[in-house]
Amino acid sequence: MAGPGVGGSPGAGARARWQRLDRPPLDAAALRAALTPPSGPFARVDVAREVASTNADVVAAAAGPDWPGWPDLSVLTAEHQRAGRGRLDRGWTTPPHAALTTSVLLRPGVPVARWSWIPLLAGVTLTETLRTVAGVQAELKWPNDVLATEPDGDDVARKVAGVLTEVVPTPDGSAVVVGTGLNVSQRRGELPGPAATSLLLAGARTLDRDTLLRATLRALAAGYREWVDAGGDAVACGLAARVRETCSTIGAGVRIELPGGADLTGVADGVDDEGRLLVDTGSRVTAVAAGDVVHVRRA
């Protein structure tokens, strides 16, 4: 298993083990040249052949003895993730070279109370990039999923990507790990269930993972820098407006499963200035924070 700090493109032996020629490995050297100084905004970009979880590896690196080597905007991406995690520790695995599993370490110098916008920042920049670069009908499902509609399907928006953020204490103060998993070239039988899709099934104009990774990371870095420069004020930097424009949950009937087994049913009325979902139950409007939500779905 390769972990943080083990980068580079697979050699001839690894290429001989490709299972499918339409799923080549990432070009680690080219990615670093494009995304790290002087060409790009990221402090480091590591490409691992296989990990259990990119988030777990970055969390361990950021809190470990080598933490100075993991500054703001450090990236780990893996060709194959064996034991990825989503919200509520749901498992998430993919075939090798079929997806993009990436974790970014952020050390935002903004008030911690405003860090709740980070999952929405990651989700909205990913959604916008999939629309412009991949040409798919992508939409943000509050708070941290990206959905896509298959052009030859049943017009049902299915999950194509997810975002998982974790706060980690480090010797230099708290940091945030933003993990994203994007289904790229999986066919129907390679997906975890009928609620999932991939860029292939969504009719994307490109399945090139190098192109997609460069575009999604650059978009995240640009949005992050604007947010940090605004002191974490999502309204001032335009992030709140972008979320409201992109989020398909707004205006939809929803059922939210809350901790303890209670349900909240109503219409998603909007997203407030703290990033909380406003749910109109008919008798009152309730603001739901991301940390309190177990599941959100169309009614």
Query: Which is nearest to 103 in space by CA: 204, 36, 179?
Result: 179
Q: The domain that contains 59 carries what CATH number?
A: 3.30.930.10
Residue 134, in any domain of the structure: yes
Same domain (yes/no): 43, 182: yes
Residue 190, in any domain of the structure: yes
Q: The domain that contains 294 carries what CATH number?
A: 2.30.30.100
Same domain (yes/no): 215, 161: yes
Same domain (yes/no): 180, 283: no
Same domain (yes/no): 263, 221: no
- The two structure tokens encoding residue 34: 């494009």
Same domain (yes/no): 294, 240: no
Which amino acid belongs to residue 21? L
Per-residue pLDDT of the chain (299 residues; tens, 9 = 90+): 233 433 444 444 444 344 567 799 999 999 999 999 999 999 999 999 999 999 999 999 999 999 999 999 999 999 999 865 555 445 556 789 999 999 999 999 999 999 999 999 999 999 999 999 999 999 999 988 999 999 987 889 999 999 999 999 999 999 999 999 999 999 999 998 899 999 999 999 999 999 999 999 999 999 999 999 999 999 999 999 999 999 999 998 888 887 677 788 899 999 999 999 999 999 999 998 854 454 565 54
Residue 7, in any domain of the structure: no
Same domain (yes/no): 67, 211: yes
Host domain of residue 34:
12-245
First and final C-alpha spacing in the chain: 42
- The per-residue b/e assignment along 2-12, b for 16 or more CB within 10 angstroms, e otherwise, is bbbeebebbee
